[in-house]
Structure 1
Amino acid sequence: MPGVEELTLRAIAGLDGDYKAAAESIRVELGSKANIETILTRIRLLQQALGPAKVFNLDAEGYRDLGARICMQIGQVVGAPLPTDRNAYTELVSWVGGTLRTHAVEIFTTNYDLLFEEAFESARASYFDGFTGGNAPFFDPVTVASDDLPPRWSRLWKLHGSLGWALAGDRVVRRGGREATQLVYPDHLKYELTQKQPYSALFERLRKFLLSPDTLLLTSGFSFRDAHICAVLDEALAMNANASVLAFQYQKVAAEEPACKLACDRPNVSVYAADGAVIGGIHGDWRPGEPPKNWDEIRATFWGQRWPGGAHEFLLGDFALFTRFCALAQATDLSRTVPVAPGSTEVDTPEEKAA
């Protein structure tokens, strides 16, 4: 599943003619801020504003069609099914469902794919995603806002929409499958209440979660470049000093500027990057010393070589290694799998057994 930058390139590459030229022109105009989501936002603003006038050779109807075509391209890219063998999603769901909890686990994701849904269903683990019903499940903001479901039901909130969501009259419904793509990332300036409602309710749920006493949010794979989400984080963390965010970042500290800026402003945000961290508003490099007795096996689950021959670094910014770390928390005898070069197989290192 590609990141947002690669997804942007693939979605535009799948267009042709004036549609491709217009999308490329918008991407160039947006500069460093350009990605598939900012491009879609600009397209929908042009769709609302233009009427019969033309920009980059497209009028309002042309931009309506362009937005739909880009969403179809997104659906083709992110519609890959969950593998049947063990993977990061199944390990995370096993960890979520493997412990009796007082409070439900809530997963907030900006991804459009159906991998979380498939992982929950393959494990026969109960979850709620804001929709209710059997024939054409409809979005129910009242249940999203409440906590009526039992804690064993995980909550899955898709902040940027999802494959399978569609409009049916004045309702947002979940049709199932990967064909419905019209509600993939509707921007947050939506012009119809029916299309605005799921996103306003889901963002309010994120705010409510962060305002809960002693709440903990773990982030993985999030760049902190989404202005809407970061605004909610900043506001809620300023109001609730007892909330904490632990941000596990894949790159080095220097490349994680948005996350580090928020961590410097809000000491209840901690950033853990490959070569260093920002904790309590203070930046520092990782300098692991001699581990305590019997600590080598534990350290190997979060510190080591991400790839054979690579430098030793903090590992949990890698989503696959983060989910393995979660799985190891409940394991009695499970090895941490070390990824190797593409084209090779994974290797379980016997010296990294977890107790």
Structure 2
Amino acid sequence: MQSHDPNRQLGFIQQALSQNRKPLGFFIGAGCPLSVRITREIDGTTQNLPLIWDVAGLTKVIGDRLRATEGAQPSNWDKMIAIVREDGGNEMNIELILSKIRAFISVAGKGNVRGMAVDDLTTLDSSICKVISEEVERSLPNNQTPYHNLAVWIRSIHREKPVHLFTTNYDLLLEQALEESSAPYFDGFIGARKAFFDLGAVEDENLLPPRWTRLWKIHGSLNWRLENKNNVVRSDIKSENQSYLIYPSHLKYDQSRKMPYLAMLDRLKSFLLSPSAVVFICGYSFGDEHINDIICRSLETNPTAHVFAFLFGALEDPKYMHGKIWAEKTPNLSLLAFDKAIIGRNIGAWKTDNPTALSLPVNVLVSSGEDISLKLGDFSAFGNLLRALSGAQDSAHETE
């Protein structure tokens, strides 16, 4: 089997990250908050747990909470899970479950779909979003997190091209880190008390200062609200006449509810079509075929762009199946797992005769005998690399 030199790939990555003229983007997935650990009291015992669960963990929490709340057996949650299972879907993916609920609502009218009444479906949708809001409404515990390392790296040098942050996460961790690191950003909304979504500003974002990071929340956000059924606002104010804008199904909605999501997806596509664009993906397992299609079709159209996807754990993990399929036919999509990589459509294990050739932070490149692990798929390790680079960039900037 072919092998890949981790030093060579790290050299490419460091070189790209050190440029201020190249279009650079980061795609932050649901696995990233797992790298931030906090102490929580669960059932009377103190445990070291992730700040926010990943998709599977969040789905389990939602199921446990809704079953306990509804009481009746089977609960509406159980009925929906049975339908998802019957249809061969992933019952541990809350986004797929929400998509199916909303698809049913869109065709139910005043009747039933698959034995579920439209009122039950609507209530289930609202209950799920409420639990999601409660579970992801958390703050970073200190300013030494990978999110802060990313934010500090962003503002460490004068940039001719703005950094773009794409995320499927609903939490406000990126916003917190950027603000606490004094890194200005634009997220498509204008205003302070109830910021409104401004499509014109999104489409003309290239007119904004390049030192402003662009933050695009592809699946909505904890603080997005649909107010009075037609106004999309970003606000921490909660009221009865607002509904959560969390994760779209990719079906037809009224224009006001649909627009933010379409605009965010358009930003991802537009960025990947930029000449020589580079995107670093972390915490994403390629489980969303709609996003996969945008990423990979854009890479096919623009061979000068490149995506480095950092995977947590082994490349052969079944959850990376879709990513592997795309990488094996897309030469400018590289998958870098702990043990192996797919680079230039070729799969191979990591191998180097000199694991200390580069000066790297701890836990980025780990060797044990002949076994080599490249751990950029751990957001903490990637954050350490960014921290080291931001220090070097700050020093270089001061001597100019």
TM-score tier by shorter-chain length is 0.7 to 0.9
Question: Residue 103 of structure 2 contacts residue 249 of structure 2 at CA under 8 Å; is this kept in 1?
Answer: no
Verify: 1:273 aligned to 2:337, yes or no: yes
**Aligned ranges for residues 46-65 of structure 1 at < 5 Å?**
46-55=104-113, 57-65=115-123
For residues 55 and 244 of structure 2, the distance between their equivalents in structure 1, rounded to whole angstroms, comes to: 18
For residues 359 and 264 of structure 2, the distance between their equivalents in structure 1, rounded to whole angstroms, comes to: 40
Question: CA, structure 1 residues 312+285, in 2 after alignment: closer, same or farther (shift >3 Å)?
Answer: closer
Question: Quick check: 271-280 or 49-58, which moved more?
Answer: 49-58
Q: Which runs of 5+ in 1 are unaligned?
A: 333-355
Question: Residue 26 of structure 1 contacts residue 39 of structure 1 at CA under 8 Å; is this kept in 2?
Answer: no
Give the counterpart letter for 2:57 in structure 1. Answer: E
For residues 24 and 176 of structure 1, the distance between their equivalents in structure 2, rounded to whole angstroms, comes to: 32
Verify: 1:105 aligned to 2:163, yes or no: yes
For residues 94 and 297 of structure 2, the distance between their equivalents in structure 1, rounded to whole angstroms, comes to: 26
Verify: 1:289 aligned to 2:353, yes or no: yes
For residues 163 and 266 of structure 2, the distance between their equivalents in structure 1, rounded to whole angstroms, comes to: 17
**Aligned ranges for residues 54-203 of structure 1 at < 5 Å?**
54-55=112-113, 57-146=115-204, 147-169=206-228, 170-176=230-236, 182-203=244-265
Per-residue Cα deviation, 1:96-122 (whole angstroms, up to 9, x for no partner): 111111100000000000001111111
Give the counterpart letter for 1:130 in structure 2. Answer: G
Per-residue Cα deviation, 1:223-262 (whole angstroms, up to 9, x for no partner): 1111111111122111111000011111211122222211
Higher normalized strand content (fraction of residues) = 2
For residues 85 and 196 of structure 1, the distance between their equivalents in structure 2, rounded to whole angstroms, comes to: 35
Verify: 1:316 aligned to 2:382, yes or no: no
TM-superposed deviation, 1:272:
0.5
RMSD: 2.1
Question: CA, structure 1 residues 82+159, in 2 after alignment: closer, same or farther (shift >3 Å)?
Answer: same
Of structures 1 and 2, the one scoring higher in RCO (CA 8 A, sep 6+) is: 2
TM-score (norm 2): 0.77
Verify: 1:224 aligned to 2:282, yes or no: no
Give the counterpart letter for 1:148 in structure 2. Answer: L
For residues 143 and 98 of structure 1, the distance between their equivalents in structure 2, rounded to whole angstroms, comes to: 26
Q: Which residue of 2 aligns with 1:29?
A: 86
Question: CA, structure 1 residues 272+247, in 2 after alignment: closer, same or farther (shift >3 Å)?
Answer: same
For residues 195 and 312 of structure 2, the distance between their equivalents in structure 1, rounded to whole angstroms, comes to: 36
For residues 299 and 110 of structure 1, the distance between their equivalents in structure 2, rounded to whole angstroms, comes to: 28
Give the counterpart letter for 1:94 in structure 2. Answer: V
The secondary structure found in structure 2 opposite 1:317 is: coil
Per-residue Cα deviation, 1:246-284 (whole angstroms, up to 9, x for no partner): 111112111222222111111011111111111111111
Q: Aligned pair count? A: 326
Per-residue Cα deviation, 1:71-118 (whole angstroms, up to 9, x for no partner): 001111111112134111111111111111110000000000000111
TM-superposed deviation, 1:22:
2.4
For residues 333 and 53 of structure 2, the distance between their equivalents in structure 1, rounded to whole angstroms, comes to: 27
For residues 189 and 151 of structure 1, the distance between their equivalents in structure 2, rounded to whole angstroms, comes to: 34
Question: Quick check: 237-246 or 188-197, which moved more?
Answer: 188-197
